[in-house]
Amino acid sequence: MGNRWISAVGVVLLCLVPAACASTVDTPTHPATGPGPGSGSSSSASNYDEQEAINRKQAEDATHRLLDLASIPPGAVELDSAPPALPGPALGIPDLQTYTSLARYWRVPLSFAAADSYVRAHPPAGFTQEGSSSGNEHGMTRHGYAWAGSAPGSSQVGQLSIGVAGNPADGRVSYLRVDASSQWQDPHPIRDAAAGPRLRIEAGGHCPGDDARMVGVRNQGTGFDQSLVPPGTPTAGLLCAYAGMNGKPYSLLLRRVLSAADALRVAETARNRDLGHPDAGPHSCPMSDGAAAVVVLEYPDRPAANLWMKTNGCTSVSNGSITALGGLGVLNDDLDEVSD
């Protein structure tokens, strides 16, 4: 999963143009297997389903391994259900649909202070602490701690958290809750389902003067539901970068002809892009004013391929059929010049 968990806490956004800010984004979870351009075959859908089952099983195995890493004070008695003071994980539930979790609970023959000290003195070896929490629940004081790392024999990074609860005035007993969770990737490509007009630049074409009202690009041919770009070696390319709503809205800021070497570098980066993603609910994005860029890759034996890149906010790359979260990276220097 990496050690990145999407927070359910909102983020305050600052925009020069208020209408350019979207406070939340809903990550699509449906695969690009619908009718029309970009529809996938039943065999490819089956392959994605099989890979998803593998990913889920690996996360479940990792979660079991993580749970066993918690250090429990001597004399603790395991409970069948969560203590009322510890109703949930110490740092809350990740805003994800693609994760697995397990929990165990104990009654500990120690004061709250002693149990809390024990937990802090026995973190899982080799893990990185991700955060802590505190509060009061059902008349008891509660502390929580969470760490990220991999269990021995597993390459899957997950989160282990421990909550401690007790009445500080009662030196006889306290309670522990241990939670382990691992994120898994949904391998189905995210469908590019934005509604609105789309841009199309042919081989040898020029950058339009603006991209007003455009929500993406269109492509011709097959295979765009399985990869951002088609197979083959591009011979040339074009980069068109556009302003968002600030400054002169949607105006062309940069036009750059790509050499064959640059076009190939972009195509290889896009072709090797992992289309897997976590399935998350609505989450906050950094500031976005709608800035975008279009990359055109020219091929000797097929129509040009167009890519649409959202260059700020929640960045992404789309081809009219599928979307990959994040940027491409290889054109960052050019786009950084525009944003400076």
pLDDT digits (tens, 9 = 90+) for 170-213: 889 999 999 998 887 777 788 998 999 999 999 999 999 999 99
Q: Which pLDDT value is given to residue 183? A: 80
Out of 11-15, 60-64, 272-276, 329-333, the most confident range is 60-64
For residues 143 and 161, what is the distance between their CA atoms, to the nearest angstrom? 11
Q: What is the pLDDT of residues 261-282, one digit of tens each?
A: 999 999 999 998 878 766 665 4
pLDDT higher for 329 or 112?
112
**Do the beta carbons of residue 177 and residue 76 sit within 8 Å?**
no
CB contact burial 256-278 (16+ within 10 A = b; e otherwise): eebeeebbbbbbebbeebebbbb
DSSP 302: S
pLDDT higher for 56 or 122?
122
Q: What is the pLDDT of residues 241-266, one digit of tens each?
A: 999 888 899 999 999 999 999 999 99
**Do the beta carbons of residue 87 and residue 140 sit within 8 Å?**
no
Q: Which pLDDT value is given to residue 150? A: 87
For residues 163 and 141, what is the distance between their CA atoms, to the nearest angstrom? 10
Domain boundaries, the chain: 18-32+191-339, 57-183
223 pLDDT band, cuts 50/70/90, is confident
Among left, alpha and beta (phi > 0; psi -120 to 50; other), residue 203 is beta
Q: What is the pLDDT of residues 32-70, one digit of tens each?
A: 433 333 333 444 667 877 877 777 888 888 889 999 999
Which residue reads 């993603």 in tokens? 277
For residues 309 and 291, what is the distance between their CA atoms, to the nearest angstrom? 9
How high is the mean pLDDT of the chain?
82
22 pLDDT band, cuts 50/70/90, is very low
Q: What CATH number does the domain located at 57-183 have?
A: 3.40.1000
Q: Which pLDDT value is given to residue 108? A: 97
DSSP 186: B
CB contact burial 92-123 (16+ within 10 A = b; e otherwise): bebbbebbbbebbbbebebbbebbbebbeeeb
What pTM does this model have? Answer: 0.61
Token pair for residue 259? 């050499």
For residues 282 and 8, what is the distance between their CA atoms, to the nearest angstrom? 9
Q: Is the pLDDT of residue 215 over 90?
A: yes
**Do the beta carbons of residue 294 and residue 217 sit within 8 Å?**
yes
For residues 159 and 7, what is the distance between their CA atoms, to the nearest angstrom? 14
